[in-house]
């Protein structure tokens, strides 16, 4: 299976227009107690979520396996005046997670858990989560609910066409997404296509390929419970509604069994 590896300089710009990324962190913060919480974010990336959580007064540790993403996250943290005691950013892999201390909350945002496409990998991640939770701690997992109509389509091309500007390269990039689905393996190969034009008008291309799984609600419940985690609430979107047949998201707030 091929793991997602972002183009770090593109990441914030290419995701800036996604409405869900303007809603997920405020909804999460609404679940936290007002007193300071110890929060561990897994796959923190460029600290899109970790920074506002720390700014809300919580003590945050963010983990990501890509050193270049962590470097950008640290620059962003420093630029807004947060210090290491408020937001600590570390390089690490969820599959072999080792962080000192335990946490009130552990969170995985933005479909990231679906990058672990085998049961063995998913179990390893969830067992690490349970080990790092305080006895009364909570685990927050946010993934999409599978759309059966889309799953019935083997190949989708040209999805989510967008354009974004990358200041570092003074470049406007055009982006589309292709997806090839294999229901028999419960895996989909996602390809991000990037296109831009150099100063002389030459057309340039980049791409990123990676695999994702998809998980159904009952499957999610079984997977969590076999790793010592129990769903307290299962939301269907960032407005707090419960999961229904047409809900776009599966947002699980869990506790230790």
Q: How many whole angstroms separate alpha carbon 198 and alpha carbon 208?
A: 20
pLDDT band at 31 (very low <50, low <70, confident <90, very high): very high
Residue 187: other Cβ atoms inside 10 A: 17
Structure tokens at 216: 């159904």
**For 96-126, how does the pLDDT look when each residue is reduced to its tens digit (9 = 90+)?**
898 999 999 999 999 999 999 999 999 999 9
Average pLDDT over residues 22-33: 96
Structure tokens at 187: 């895996």
pTM of the model: 0.95
Average pLDDT over residues 88-97: 94
Is the pLDDT assigned to residue 34 strictly greater than 90? no
**For 37-73, how does the pLDDT look when each residue is reduced to its tens digit (9 = 90+)?**
999 999 999 999 999 999 999 999 999 999 999 999 9
Residues 6+ apart with CB under 8 A from 80: 51, 55
Average pLDDT over residues 12-25: 94
């Amino acid at each position: 299976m091929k793991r997602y590896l972002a183009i770090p300089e593109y990441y914030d710009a290419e995701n800036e227009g996604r409405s869900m990324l303007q809603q997920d962190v405020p909804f999460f913060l609404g679940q936290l107690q007002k007193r300071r919480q110890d929060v561990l974010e897994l796959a923190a990336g460029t600290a899109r979520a970790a920074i506002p959580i720390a700014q809300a007064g919580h003590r945050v540790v963010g983990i990501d396996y890509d050193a270049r993403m962590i470097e950008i996250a640290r620059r962003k943290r420093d630029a807004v005046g947060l210090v290491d005691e408020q937001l600590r950013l570390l390089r690490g892999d969820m599959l072999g997670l080792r962080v000192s201390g335990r946490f009130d909350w552990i969170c995985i945002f933005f479909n990231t858990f679906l990058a672990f496409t085998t049961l063995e990998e998913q179990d390893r991640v969830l067992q690490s989560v349970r080990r790092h939770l305080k006895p009364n701690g909570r685990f927050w997992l946010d993934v999409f609910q599978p759309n059966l109509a889309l799953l019935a389509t083997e190949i989708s091309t040209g999805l989510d066409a967008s354009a974004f500007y990358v200041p570092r390269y003074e470049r406007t990039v055009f982006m589309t997404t292709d997806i090839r689905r294999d229901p028999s393996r419960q895996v989909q190969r996602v390809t991000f296509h990037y296109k831009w034009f150099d100063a002389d008008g030459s057309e340039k291309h980049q791409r990123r390929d990676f695999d994702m799984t998809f998980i159904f609600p009952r499957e999610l419940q079984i997977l969590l419970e076999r790793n010592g985690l129990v769903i307290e609430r299962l939301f269907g979107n960032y407005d707090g509604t419960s999961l229904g047949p047409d809900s776009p998201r599966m947002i699980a707030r869990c506790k230790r069994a």
